[in-house]
Amino acid sequence: MAQSALDVLSISPSALSAEETHLIESSVAQFGAPLLLLDCDSVRHQYRALQNALPNVTLHFALKPLPHPAVVRTLLAEGASFDLATTGEVELVAGEGVPADKTIHTHPIKRDADIRAALEYGCCVFVVDNLNELEKFIAYRDEVELLVRLSFRNADVFADLSKKFGCSPDHAIEIITRAKELGIRIKGLSFHVGSQTLNPQKYVDAILACKEVMERVVELGLPALSTLDIGGGFPVNYTKAVMPIDEFCVPINQALNTLPETVQVLAEPGRFIVAGCMTSVASVMGQADREGQTWYYLDDGLYGSFSGIIFDHGEYPLYTTKHAVETFSSVLAGPTCDSIDVIAENIMLPKLENGDLIIGRMMGAYTSATATDFNFFKRAQTVVMNEEEVMASRKMG
């Protein structure tokens, strides 16, 4: 890692409360390391915060960033809906008893078997962004309603999802026209402005562009569209503060208020709901002094819970449970024999002993979901906490 973006990471020894340190240490004593502590209270809190910020929007949690049964159960109890993209995700929510009418299937490209699996479960809202995909639904036209996904390019987000999926407004009109000829119902439009979008204006622009398409649909005498799905992308604080969600959603609500009252609005938040709910706990396996720095080799790394550093450009706040006045320039490396498996370089750390713990926060989204067992280092176990809201027991062991 020549010029690593992770060089900016620092460790705050003081930022863990005594209660948190106790919880982490007792969890490791009970389950071993590495661990991911999944706090369902955080999931609830984030869901309520976003629902409060977008009061007239039906929130479909996108499973992709953290497809964990406890998250599904927690959100189901909150009254959430769900956004599915694969047959595996269909099986997960079906297994947890999610009613199918609370789900939509939003992968723009599907195999016939994926469509059938979703339909067998009872999910009948799908997304298309091209004519080839539209024609896959001729066989199911009496059962399905479709959203047409538009693309709005967004260069400054973690993942520009409009590069891979979505069509232009003109092409959307072509798809909607063809759907009418084929007898396939088009329910509305969708978009995804990109994950961890920092500027709400991206949503505003997309909503207004969709509004124009909806107006053209009416002018052309096509059946009026009843739904707008504003996707995911809502931002969270990693190492830099983002706009608070209430403030972020003010211009979005204003834009939504310009739509006809009959239009039902959905969103597909993923990261915002789960990024903060997981805390990673890795322990030092060994250490070596190399070129003036101490290298600490952890039992979790880039091929495990920290895979988001590669796949998601993640920068996670890191902590140690060790308190010390003196700190030294250090490297945190993962356990595998691969040289790219380095979590952070040039970070200031107290002198650690083997067995000491490194804590990562904001490790809920796109972390364990993309972890591997490379080199036979098993991915971190997940420990679920506070699944029952009333109990709210924080005692682990």
Ligand X SMILES: *Cc1c(COP(=O)(O)O)cnc(C)c1O
Nearest-approach distance from CB 295 to ligand X, in angstroms: 33
Q: Out of 270, 301, 304, 360, name the contact with ligand X by CB under 6 A.
A: 270
State the first-to-last Cα distance of the chain, in angstroms, to the nearest integer.
39
337 catalytic? Reply is: yes
- DSSP string of 353-389? PTT-EEEESS--SSSGGG---GGG-PPPEEEEE--ST
**Are residues 48 and 78 in contact, defined by beta-carbon separation less than 8 angstroms?**
yes
Residue 62 interacts with ligand X (CB under 6 A): yes or no:
yes
Is the Cβ of residue 193 or residue 333 nearer to ligand X in the bound state? Answer: 193
Q: Out of 39, 83, 299, 356, name the contact with ligand X by CB under 6 A.
A: 83
Residue 65 interacts with ligand X (CB under 6 A): yes or no:
yes
Residue 166 interacts with ligand X (CB under 6 A): yes or no:
no
| Sole window of 86-94, 220-228, 263-271, 348-356 interacting with ligand X (rule: CB under 6 A) | 263-271
Nearest-approach distance from CB 234 to ligand X, in angstroms: 6
For the chain, helix, strand, coil in percent to 5 are 35, 25, 40
Which of 193, 189, 304 lies closest to 248, judged by CA?
Answer: 193
Site for ligand X in 171-210 (CB under 6 A): 192, 195
Nearest-approach distance from CB 60 to ligand X, in angstroms: 8
Nearest-approach distance from CB 123 to ligand X, in angstroms: 14
Helices (runs of H) and strands (runs of E) counted in the chain: 11, 16
In angstroms, rounded to a whole number, what is the distance separating the alpha carbons of residues 141 and 91? 23
Is the Cβ of residue 50 or residue 332 nearer to ligand X in the bound state? Answer: 50
**Are residues 39 and 279 in contact, defined by beta-carbon separation less than 8 angstroms?**
yes
Torsion of CA 387, 388, 392, 397, to 10 degrees: -60
Residue with tokens 């983002």: 242
Site for ligand X in 19-48 (CB under 6 A): none
Helix (H) or strand (E) holding 146: strand 145-149
Nearest-approach distance from CB 83 to ligand X, in angstroms: 5
Site for ligand X in 310-349 (CB under 6 A): none
Nearest-approach distance from CB 272 to ligand X, in angstroms: 6
Pattern 96-125, ligand X, x by CB under 6 A: ----------x-------------------
**Are residues 365 and 270 in contact, defined by beta-carbon separation less than 8 angstroms?**
yes
Q: Which two tokens stand for residue 218?
A: 């009416």
Nearest-approach distance from CB 393 to ligand X, in angstroms: 29
The one catalytic residue in 124, 210, 249, 337 is 337
Size of the site for ligand X (CB under 6 A): 18
Residue type for position 211: K
Q: Out of 166, 232, 335, 360, name the contact with ligand X by CB under 6 A.
A: 232
Residue 269 interacts with ligand X (CB under 6 A): yes or no:
yes
Residue 271 interacts with ligand X (CB under 6 A): yes or no:
yes
Residue type for position 165: F
Which residues, at least 6 apart from 167, have a Cβ–Cβ distance to it below 8 Å? Answer: 129, 130, 148, 149, 150, 151, 175
Q: Burial-class residue 291 by CB neighbours within 10 Å (0-12, 13-18, 19+).
A: exposed
Q: Out of 16, 38, 57, 64, name the contact with ligand X by CB under 6 A.
A: 64
Q: Out of 67, 166, 200, 231, name the contact with ligand X by CB under 6 A.
A: 231
Nearest-approach distance from CB 367 to ligand X, in angstroms: 12
Note if the bond before 223 is cis, omega within 30 degrees. Answer: no
| Sole window of 168-176, 262-270, 313-321, 344-352 interacting with ligand X (rule: CB under 6 A) | 262-270
Is the Cβ of residue 47 or residue 272 nearer to ligand X in the bound state? Answer: 272
| Sole window of 109-117, 266-274, 318-326, 332-340 interacting with ligand X (rule: CB under 6 A) | 266-274
Is the Cβ of residue 53 or residue 85 nearer to ligand X in the bound state? Answer: 85
In angstroms, rounded to a whole number, what is the distance separating the alpha carbons of residues 149 and 229? 9
Helix (H) or strand (E) holding 41: helix 40-53
Residue 235 interacts with ligand X (CB under 6 A): yes or no:
no
Can you tell me whether residue 351 is helix, strand or coil?
coil
Which chain residues interact with ligand X by CB under 6 A? 62, 64-65, 83, 85, 106, 161, 192, 195, 231-234, 268-272
What residues are annotated to the active site? 337
